[in-house]
Amino acid sequence: MTDHPVSKHQRKGREDLHETADRWLRARRALPAADQPHAERLAEMIRVHATDRLVAIGDPLEAAVFSLLVELVKEQTAGEKPAVCGDTIQVDQ
């Protein structure tokens, strides 16, 4: 029989992302005024996925970063034709 380590931190699902967003909002106060709106936007971006089932990602910070990256990619590709699996991507040299 294999013993599984007991996590010190019981995951709370969506609360994890909200708590991370709250911490990021508090941390924004330490930033220069010009950067504070960007920090607010990052917190908003991870809240978008707070209701998603990201239980496959055991680390709350990793779940927050994953959510953030998904939103950044969505913004970057907005207006572009989404790549489909199997499409060839050409890189300019």
Per-residue pLDDT tens over the stretch 32-65: 999 999 999 999 999 888 888 776 788 888 989 9
pTM of the predicted model as reported, rounded to 2 decimal places: 0.64
Q: pLDDT above 70 covers what percent of the chain?
A: 68
Phi-psi region of 50 (alpha: psi -120 to 50; beta: other; left: phi over 0): alpha
**Of 55, 63, 22, 17, which Cα lies nearest the Cα of 39?**
22
Tokens found for residue 26 = 């508090």
- Let me know: does 65 contact 42? Beta carbons within 8 Å: no
Q: For the chain, what are the domain ranges? A: 14-72
